[in-house]
Amino acid sequence: MTIRGKVVIVTGAARGIGKAIAEEFGKAGACLFLIARSKDELEQITLHLARYECDVLAESYDIADPRQVDLAVEAGLKRFGRVDVLVNNAGVQGPIGPVEDLDFWECKRVVEVNLLATLRFIQKVIPGMKRHAWGRIINMSGGGGTGPLPRFCPYAASKAAIVRLTETVAEEVKAYGITVNAIAPGNVKTRMTEQALSAGERAGTEYLQKLKELAKGGGVSPYLAAELALILASDEAQSITGRLISAVWDDWRELIGRAEQIQATDIYTLRRILPKDRGFDW
């Protein structure tokens, strides 16, 4: 993979999937700008990455505030001069329970972090990517991105929006050497898992049981999503864009070899199912 020397922004980089992504890109020789809220955790990941001798800038920002996003991108540009790859990994789960019981302002924050911060980062990096005629934007979908997730309404809605945002922006920038894709990381055991377990019955009986089984089994490795991100960020993935790819269920190691077939169809996209798709003639 041609990643060495690329400047990569990773949001939510201090733990879980973001930490795994930072590590994989660090191993590959990328220049990393890591963003998270916890300064202590950023210090820890920076120390951890020292073994790979990669250039790392790690700073704390609250990306729910668009002004903080602007400051973050400016800091990255000041340090590295450009942004080649943007990995929008940061996200929050938000309130859990029946939709009518959820605190509206907590729901609003979910949208601000999961969707609007992603949008703002994209807005800030695209001009530079266009000037260099090269760029990779990788967004993070999740539970509810392709189907309903009862009791997690704001989270599910924000992740579905990420998928359509990905497809739409991909169409806008494909003529400039920029690709935009989304990853569904699978049931990775993270702090969100702990929060959902703590919610108890508010998470729903069936889903709560799945979470308990996930907690016992350890969940999906975050490094699957990290390895997929590495492929999507490479030169070799130039023709893959506007897709939602599952780190767990899709054969993404063969992605590049199947690029022509994928891009010629609606494979790995979010679409409305019509009656004829299910064999009906109405």
Mind telling me the catalytic residues? 155
For residue 99 the two structure tokens come to 């939709």
Alpha carbons within 13 A on the beta-carbon side of 241 = 21
SS3 219: strand
Residue pair 243/266 in contact (Cβ under 8 Å)? The answer is no
How do strand 7-11 and strand 244-246 relate by DSSP bridges? unpaired
CA atoms of 70 and 35, how far apart (whole Å): 12
Per DSSP, helices labelled H in 100-248 are 104-111, 117-132, 153-173, 191-199, 205-217, 222-232
State the maximum Cα–Cα separation within the chain, in Å, rounded to a whole number: 61
Q: Are 93 and 149 in contact (CB under 8 A)?
A: no
d(CA 12, CA 41): 10
Tokens of 139: 């967004």
Angle among Cα 13, 269, 281 to the nearest 5 degrees reads 155
